[in-house]
Structure 1
C-alpha cells in the first residue's frame, strides 16, 4: 500500500487513511468532499435527463391526447 505525505503535518500515511494518526486531521485527502460532489453531479444529471425525457416524450403525448378530446 503506497504511503503519501499528510497535507497538514507531512507525516507518511496510507492513501486510504480516514484520519491522520500523527496530527488527527480528519479526511486528509478530502475523499468525503469528492464523494459528495460526484453524488451531487449524478443527481443533477439524473434530474435533467428525467426532465428532458418528460418534455420529449410525455408532453407531446399529452398534447395529442387533449387535441383528440
Structure 2
C-alpha cells in the first residue's frame, strides 16, 4: 500500500492551447503534452487505416455476393 501511495502523482489541469504554446506551463509539461498529442495522432492514424481497410473489405464482399 505504501508503494501505491508513493507512486501516486498529483495531476494539474492545464488548457491545451496554453500547454502547446508553452504559455504558463513548465518545460516538462510542454513536452508531456507534445508526447500525448503524438500518441493520439498515431492511434488515430491506425484507427483510420483500419476503418478504411474494413470498408474496402465490406465493399469487396458485396461485389463477390453479386457475382
TM-score in terms of structure 2 length: 0.53
2: distance between equivalents of 1:34 and 1:24? 16
* Structure that is richer in helix per residue: 2
The alignment of Structure 1 onto Structure 2 pairs a total of residues equal to: 50
Deviation at 1:16, TM superposition (A): 1.4
- 1:11 corresponding residue in structure 2: none
Larger Rg: 1
Aligned 1:1-69 pairs, distance under 5 A:
4=14, 14-17=18-21, 22-23=27-28, 26=31, 28-29=32-33, 30-57=36-63, 59-61=64-66, 64=67
| Structure 2: tracts of 5 or more residues without a match | 1-13
